[in-house]
Amino acid sequence: MPLQETQNNDLKIITVTIPRIDAAVAIRFKDAMRAATETGPNHIVLDLSNVCFVDSSGLGAIVASKKQLAHGKQLDLAGLTPDVAKVFRLTRMDSVFYIHAHVADLAPHTAG
């Protein structure tokens, strides 16, 4: 599963390039996230601005991506679309993740 990665010294942004994280891609997503987060900065932001649908398997894969991080690494989320944000609110996962409104707000020199 392709994920776009942008990195500066202290921040790695991983952008999901597909519109759905569901049962059909959850395992591949989790594996791709493991590979993308093994090295690099401790602060990682998952950009979900292209994702319009997350089911329970997809949500589980995102949570697993956070849990599988090495000690000291942090996974935040950014760019949640309204439907995806609703899933996080309903499941109270919005209290587990720090959620940024937009990736561009994090570090203007890394956006784009």
CA 86 vs CA 8, 59, 67, 101, 111: distances in Å: 30, 12, 22, 14, 25
Q: What is the pLDDT of residues 84-96, one digit of tens each?
A: 999 999 999 999 9
Q: What is the pLDDT of residues 35-85, one digit of tens each?
A: 999 999 999 999 999 999 999 999 999 999 999 999 999 999 999 999 999
Q: Which domains does the chain have, with CATH numbers?
A: 3-105 (3.30.750.24)
Entry pTM: 0.92
Q: What is the pLDDT of residues 7-33, one digit of tens each?
A: 987 999 999 999 999 999 999 999 999
